[in-house]
Amino acid sequence: MNKLNLLFPFALGLSDGVITTLMLIAHSLLAGESIVAGLALRVAFGASFVGAFSFFIAEYSRLREEISRTSRQLILRSPSYLIKGKIGRDIMLEAGVGTSVSAVTGFTGSMIPLAFSVLLPQAGLLSIIVAVVALAGLGAGLGRSVKGNYAFWILTMVIVGVLVTIIGYYLNLV
């Protein structure tokens, strides 16, 4: 698996971790409530577990669909010939590695606002600002990686972070 194949699980995990956590804790942070270390770890684990599970389902089914499409193009009777062989093992490995990357980066992304909240309990807004800045940094990295417009990527990620924070504030989940 090359670096290019890891961009998707890395970006998905990191962005999902930050965004999910902002959705969950925005109200608590903006209301000045402190997040204790135990809660921070539970939220980060939960966010990364759900994100990784979703990633595995989506990625494995996408790769299996590619095998089915390839078998039709090769006019094979059934894709099972490809799935039972090395290609089948390779897609399981690729989905597994991607899931691991997604889980680790999801946990890391989730801990960005949570760690600031634990370390600086009264600085809830600072935790949100740090999370939005992390999303902007991810946007800049993605813009560079895909040879896109940096400003567009950064602005889009910042807007998503702010929007999710506002929605999370009104939903008052944690």
Global pTM reads: 0.88
Asked if 17 contacts 108 with a C-beta cutoff of 8 angstroms, the reply is yes
Q: What is the mean pLDDT of residues 149-166?
A: 97
In the structure, what pLDDT confidence band is assigned to residue 77 with cuts at 50, 70 and 90?
A: confident
Q: Is the dihedral of CA 58, 63, 69, 75 positive or negative?
A: negative
Contact between 103 and 49 under an 8 Å Cβ cutoff? The reply is: yes
**Average pLDDT of the chain?**
91
Every domain of the chain and the residues it spans: 3-169
Whether residue 3 has pLDDT greater than 70: no
Interval 89-106 mean pLDDT: 94
* 94 contact partners, CB below 8 Å, separation of at least 6: 1, 5, 59, 63
SS3 29: helix
